[in-house]
Amino acid sequence: MTKTARETRRNDPGRTREDILDVATEEFAEFGLSGARVDSIAEKTRTSKRMIYYYYGSKEGLYLAVLEKAYRKIRTLEADLQLGELPPDEALRRLISTTFDHDEHNPDFVRLVSIENIHHAMHMKRSSEIADLNISVIRTLQDIVDRGLASGMFKRRADAIDVHMLISAFCFFRVSNRYTFGTIFKRDLSEPELYTRHKSMIADAVLGYLRSSEP
């Protein structure tokens, strides 16, 4: 590393940490928690294991920081949508579209969540930030459902977490199972026409559920 690069690292620790998280995201998504190597992350970021452990404490601490950043990204995207200014149905379509596109373009996020499920969310349970971050999308959905009910647009007093699960399940599945599903049914889920149809389909399904009467 050149003298200038070393000085840049020393003078901008925030940038260094972001670089480490970006590379660590790829490493953990590719190899999982057990297979990822801190040595490899250090080499690719031109840092050292000692520096990484100084910032994150351990390999598990770095992995948790990667998870937190991944959830922070999607929740920030949602917060920037200003959905409260839109009619309930338009707000819901925009939120679903954002989730759909995010998962498609961030397969590392899908892999990381799948990996953490293998570990029974044992690392996520240590993070108060992830729990706090995900409260926001539930509040947003509850506001959309409540406004839809008040206006008469929706008939079902749905649970916001159920709605979130319905949206997440479809968007997540398309990415997490794209290779197995695509192989079995001979379909490329990234094909533009299919992509557009699926995005419309999940929005129509969720809105149809909210517009239907209680059983």
Digitized pLDDT (tens) for each residue of the chain, 215 residues in all: 444 444 445 567 889 999 999 999 999 999 999 999 999 999 999 999 999 999 999 999 999 999 999 999 999 999 999 999 999 999 999 999 999 999 999 999 999 999 999 999 999 999 989 989 899 999 999 999 999 999 999 999 999 999 999 999 999 999 999 999 999 999 999 999 999 999 999 999 999 999 998 87
In whole angstroms, what is the distance from residue 146 CA to residue 134 CA?
Answer: 19
Are 181 and 187 within 8 A, CB to CB? yes
When computed from its CA atoms, the radius of gyration of the chain, rounded to whole angstroms, is 20
Nearest CA to 176 out of 126, 117, 132, 128 is that of: 117
Spatial distance between the Cα atoms of 59 and 74, rounded to a whole number of angstroms: 24
**Angstrom distance (rounded) from CA 92 to CA 86:** 9
**Pick from 119, 151, 154, 113: nearest CA to 134:** 113
Query: What is the SS3 assignment for 135-166?
Result: HHHHHHHHHHHHHHHHHCCCCCCCCHHHHHHH
> Would you say 12 and 50 are in contact if contact means Cβ atoms under 8 Å apart?
no
3-class DSSP assignment, residue 12: coil
- Whether 79 and 147 have beta carbons less than 8 Å apart is answered as no
